[in-house]
Amino acid sequence: MMMRKYQPKGRPGQQHRSGNFSHGQKADKLDEIINNATGIGANQTNGLSTSRYTQSRQNLRIIPMGGVEEVGENMTALEFGDDLLIIDMGLAFPDETMPGIDYIIPDTKWLEENKRRIRGVIITHGHLDHIGAIPYILPKLGDPPVYTMALTAAFVKKRLEEFGLIGRSKINVLTKDDVLSLGNFKIRFFRTNHSIPDGMGLCITTPVGQIVYATDWKFDHTPVDGKPTEFDKIAKFGAEGVLLLMSDSTNATKPGYCISERELGITIDRTFAEIKGRIIFANFSTSITRIQQVFDAAAKYNRKVIVTGRSMVNNIEIALSLGYLKIQPKIIIKSEQAKKFPDNQVLILTTGAQGEDAAGLARIARGDHKTVKIKKGDTTIVSASPIPGNERAISVMLSNLTRLGSHVIYNKTLDIHTSGHAQQEELKLMIALVKPKYFMPIHGEHHMIVAHAELAKTMGIPESQIFTLDNGQILEINTAREAKIVVDPKIVTGYVFIDGLGIGDVGEVVIRDRQVMAQDGMFVIIMTLDRRTGKLINQPDIISRGFIYMKGNDDLIREVKHEVRKLVESKGKEKLEPNWAYLRNVIRDEVGEYLYQKTERRPMILPVVIEI
Ligand SMILES: [Zn+2]
């Protein structure tokens, strides 16, 4: 898996990412006060062009709902005639500019309005950036049927079960040679290698031509499970004629080939051979092939394995029950049994290689894990490359571990991780096999998408036949097989923020408020005014939090109060009728400017009017 943290877009010319967020918050009294105070209106319109656009149902429309402006929240919709097909429903992780947000998922309002036309949802593989949003989105789309391979189906069911949604959508298990017919779409599959078993690519036959959809794949000639990517099928689709190839851009900037997972197995083996004490091995819980190699090396060096972390326990159980993981009997022990074994016969397998706060390794590193306590002589192996944005959290975690006495090995000191995503030479081979007329790079941030487009150009695909889209834009192909990018004002995509139990009730306004408060604190001005005269009845009250300490700043506070009094007196006279909203705006702007001059800080200013 390579789930990069969500990156704010900040497209040139687009101010503060306006336009691509969903707005779901209720405008209650407090919101109103805060909106007035911050000068941010809740009704921002989307920035897409609203030029007149009429759609012909006889055109094929391909709509990335997410995943082409970030690594994460992958979701694509295909439309022809009355039929809609959805591929993947992923989530993305927030970055540090989104305080309090747990996940980000695509905005699916348009799909909700068209849910009766959805023929099915195909899931390519079991990583969270492809299945994570399923429990949030599937019920809103009327629980359409899901189609996927066995291991992915088990992960999807587990996730639905955790949300109490099991039994609503039918989860159909496919095999790689099945042919699926959903309305105007006929779908065939090919197995791909990735860092999780059961990854698959799609060949979708539509009334205007064939699409090859290849996300999260690499060419591994010696995969650990002995099941390489099905080159023969890809070449066969290419020979039949492919109108459009959509392909993974995650590693489009990296030259050469990915190293095989098997190479990694050799590194793991060599590393284990030299370790004398306990081993703590942290890894993505979905990287079943990596986990297989850890079990193999553990068995070879006579180590028992303690599995900790809920997702690690669940996923290992699922993979074992379906035969995707093969381990020695009795190699897994409970943590209480560890005392019976010397340190050089114990391995602890856990989650949290990205430094995630709540995951196993971070808790072990903080010393508050229930059963695992670090001691001198331990070796911790972190098997993942840091997702950009996580470096700091990982670094802190590693230092905590070394303070507790553990030796630490991670990708910078030893290549203990390989990517699951094709690099340049593999990407070129895919294009060569598929020989598409049109090319659309997917799965990546904008610069990765562009790098992939450049590669396609060097392979001889004319620039006019390469399409780089933003989320929510549409690649439309008509029956004459002419393709162009169009924008349909009805399709508004963007980000829905998940905060605790709230889905989409936190919008851009709330995020921006959190950013302002986190940076410079807040400053509340309470004014008690006479309803009829608009005059201040007594001194304004000031509350400051996270901005300045009130004690010791008496002068500044006194000056602000003076300023407020002056403003109320002068502005009150300008209007015949007392206009509190206007007054609040003036106070916010003027006091904001005043505080900035004095402190060079911009706290959130909340003017509150109480009328008597
Ligand atoms: Zn993946």
In a shared domain, residues 66 and 191: yes
pLDDT of residue 494: 72
Q: Print the domain residue range for 191.
A: 15-256+420-500
2 C-alpha to center of ligand 1: Å? 6
- CATH of residue 354: 3.40.50.10710
Rounded Cα gap, residues 466 and 444, in angstroms: 16
195 C-alpha to center of ligand 1: Å? 7
The domain tally of the chain equals: 3
Ranges under pLDDT 70 in the chain:
1-56, 95-100, 387-389, 411-417, 499-511, 572-578
Distances (CA, A) of 376 to 306, 504, 525: 19, 46, 55
261 C-alpha to center of ligand 1: Å? 15
Tell me if 516 is assigned to some domain. Answer: no
pLDDT of residue 10: 43
73 C-alpha to center of ligand 1: Å? 11
Tell me if 577 is assigned to some domain. Answer: yes
383 C-alpha to center of ligand 1: Å? 16
pLDDT of residue 44: 34
pLDDT in tens, 583-605: 888 888 888 898 888 888 888 88
234 C-alpha to center of ligand 1: Å? 19
294 in the Ramachandran plot: left (φ > 0), alpha (ψ -120 to 50) or beta? alpha
In a shared domain, residues 267 and 327: yes
Q: How many residues does the chain have?
A: 612
What residues form DSSP beta bridges with 408?
380
pLDDT of residue 28: 38
Tell me if 7 is assigned to some domain. Answer: no
Burial of 506 per CB tally in 10 Å (0-12, 13-18, 19+): buried
Tell me if 8 is assigned to some domain. Answer: no
Q: What are phi and psi of 374, to 5 degrees?
A: -70, 140
In a shared domain, residues 271 and 243: no
In a shared domain, residues 569 and 469: no
In this structure, are residues 465 and 483 in contact, taking their beta carbons and an 8 Å threshold?
Answer: yes
pTM: 0.77
First-to-last alpha carbon distance for the chain, in angstroms, is 60
In a shared domain, residues 101 and 238: yes
In a shared domain, residues 354 and 319: yes
Q: Which residues contact 279 (CB under 8 A, 6 or more apart)?
A: 272, 298, 303, 346, 347, 348, 378, 379, 380, 381
Distances (CA, A) of 131 to 77, 284, 442: 15, 15, 17
Rounded Cα gap, residues 341 and 349, in angstroms: 16
Q: Which residues contact 57 (CB under 8 A, 6 or more apart)?
A: 80, 81, 82
pLDDT of residue 511: 66
What is the bridge-based pairing of β-strands 304-307 and 209-214? Answer: unpaired
Residue 610 parent element (H or E): strand 604-611
pLDDT of residue 269: 93
In a shared domain, residues 333 and 463: no
In a shared domain, residues 303 and 448: no
Rg over alpha carbons for the chain, rounded to the nearest Å, is 28
Among 471, 511, 519, CA closest to 94:
511
Q: Residues with beta carbon < 5 A to ion ligand 1?
A: 1, 127, 216
